[in-house]
């Protein structure tokens, strides 16, 4: 690769855009945020191209920048914490005062075929995007990036107790969303499944 | 010997606490009284049994998103996003020179 292509941001986008996008998506679970991170990364690369070490591969260099951007993204989420989660507290009930289910889980139809379905994946992403961002980040790091609780606590700067709460809330809300929008949807939902 | 308090707690766990424990059990190995509480509760509570099963389905589904995300995955930048980023880079490149 010539020096010219290496310093050409359009070429970075062409050659590495999808890889950077996938890397970000697996860690933030939200395509809009992932797109923004790719853009920020390439802009930062453009500003700092003079510092690009000749010996390191271009993609490694870009992924390194992206990792820093993702860490910044989590820190930003940490700042947004308080407001979003007080609101979530009220909504996270779902149980009576005595601790009984108010809307008990319903039977999910054909979970195996859901896992293989592209439409289901789209709804899953949509439901994730509807969660408070920090809950979604915690759940994505845990389940999609496969990080341990300890690692996530460091990444999101939370205590273990707080992390359980974030994960539990995320799971409760995601469960309800999937149940309503896919597994036990209204007539429209069952028509869609028949059509598959 | 288990304390009486532990035993009572295990027998009387309401669904709200049981779901919290079931969720936590996905992330760490719980102490035995908590594991026992889950086991006893789900033995008689079909709702929380169903909940536990659904968490597993969600775990598989979210794991599938990661496969899409890694190298060799299928997720791609949309054409709109690609164009938008391209334009931004272009103008930043011009003004940055």
Looking at residue B2, its pLDDT comes to 62
Mean pLDDT value across residues A14-26: 89
Task: Return the residue matching tokens 């205590």.
Answer: A159
A138/B contact by beta carbon, under 8 A:
no
Q: Residue A188: pLDDT above 50?
A: no
Looking at residue A196, its pLDDT comes to 37
Q: How far is B58 from chain A (nearest CA, A)?
A: 8
CA distance A20 to B75: 11
CA distance A6 to A12: 7
Cβ distance of A18 and B19 shorter than 8 Å: no
Looking at residue A36, its pLDDT comes to 93
pLDDT digits (tens, 9 = 90+) for A67-93: 899 888 877 776 665 545 555 444 447
pLDDT tier for residue A194 given thresholds of 50, 70 and 90: very low
Q: Give the tokens for residue A103.
A: 């809307």
CA distance A150 to B10: 27
Q: Which residues pair with A101 in a beta bridge?
A: A95
Residue A180 is given by DSSP the state I
Q: Residue B70: pLDDT above 60?
A: no
pTM of model > 0.80:
no
Which of A10-24, A94-108, A111-125, B19-33 has the least mean pLDDT? A111-125
CA distance B78 to B87: 14
Could you tell me how far CA A52 lies from the centroid of its own chain? 29
Note the maximum CA span of chain A: 69
Q: Residue B22: pLDDT above 90?
A: yes
Q: How far is B91 from chain A (nearest CA, A)?
A: 10
């Amino acid at each position: 690769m010539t020096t010219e292509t290496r310093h050409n941001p359009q070429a970075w986008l062409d050659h590495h855009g999808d890889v950077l996008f996938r890397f970000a998506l697996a860690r933030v679970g939200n395509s809009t945020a992932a797109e923004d991170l790719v853009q920020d990364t390439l802009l930062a690369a453009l500003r700092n191209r003079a510092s690009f070490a000749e010996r390191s591969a271009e993609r490694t260099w870009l992924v390194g920048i992206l990792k820093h951007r993702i860490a910044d993204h989590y820190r930003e989420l940490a700042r947004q914490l308080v407001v979003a989660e007080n609101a979530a507290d009220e909504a996270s009930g779902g149980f009576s005062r005595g601790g009984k289910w108010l809307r008990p889980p319903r039977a999910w139809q054909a979970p195996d075929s859901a896992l293989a379905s592209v439409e289901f994946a789209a709804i899953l992403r949509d439901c994730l995007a509807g969660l408070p961002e920090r809950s979604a980040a915690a759940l994505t790091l845990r389940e999609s990036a496969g990080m341990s609780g300890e690692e996530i606590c460091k990444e999101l700067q939370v205590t273990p107790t707080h992390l359980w709460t974030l994960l539990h809330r995320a799971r409760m809300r995601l469960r309800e969303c999937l149940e309503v929008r896919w597994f036990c949807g209204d007539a429209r939902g069952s028509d869609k499944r028949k059509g598959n | 010997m288990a304390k009486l308090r532990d035993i009572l707690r295990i027998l009387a766990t309401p669904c709200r606490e049981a779901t919290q424990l079931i969720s936590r059990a996905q992330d760490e190995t719980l102490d035995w009284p908590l594991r026992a509480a889950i086991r006893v509760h789900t033995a008689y509570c079909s709702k929380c049994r169903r909940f536990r099963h659904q968490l597993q389905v969600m775990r598989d589904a979210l794991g599938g998103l990661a496969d899409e995300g890694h190298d060799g995955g299928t997720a791609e930048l949309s054409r709109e996003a690609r164009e938008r980023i391209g334009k931004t880079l272009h103008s930043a490149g011009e003004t940055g020179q």
